[in-house]
Structure 1
Amino acid sequence: MVEEERPSVGRALQRARIDAGLTVDEVSSSTRVRSPIVHAIEQDDFSRCGGDVYARGHIRTLARAVGLDPAPLVAQYDGEHGGRPAPTPAAPLFEAERIRPERRRPNWTAAMVAAIVAVIGFVGFTLFSGEDGGTGTKDPVAGSSPSPKAEPSPTKTKPADPKPDPADSAIAGAPKNKVTVMVSAADGRSWISAKDHNGRLMFDGLLEKGESKSFTDKKQINLVLGDAGAIKLFVNGKEIKDEFKPGTVERLSYTKDDPESDTGVG
Structure 2
Amino acid sequence: MSIGNSPEDDRPSTSSEDDRPSIGQTLQQARTAAGLTLEEVSAATRVRIPIVHAIELDDFSRCGGDVYARGHIRTLARAVAVDPAALVEQYDAEHGGRPEPTPVAPLFDAERIKPERRRPNWTAAMVAAIVAVVGFVGFTMFTGGSGDKGSKQVAEGPTTATKPAGTTSSKPADPKPSTPAASDSAIAAVPKDKVTVKLSAVDDKSWISAKAHNGKLLFDGVLAKGASKTFTDPQQVDLILGNAGAIQLFVNGKDVHNDFQTGQVERLSYTKGDPEAG
Structure 1 or 2, whichever has the larger Rg, is 1
| Structure 1 and Structure 2 fold alike (TM over 0.5) | no
TMscore range, shorter length: 0.3 to 0.5
TM-score, normalised by the number of residues in structure 2: 0.39
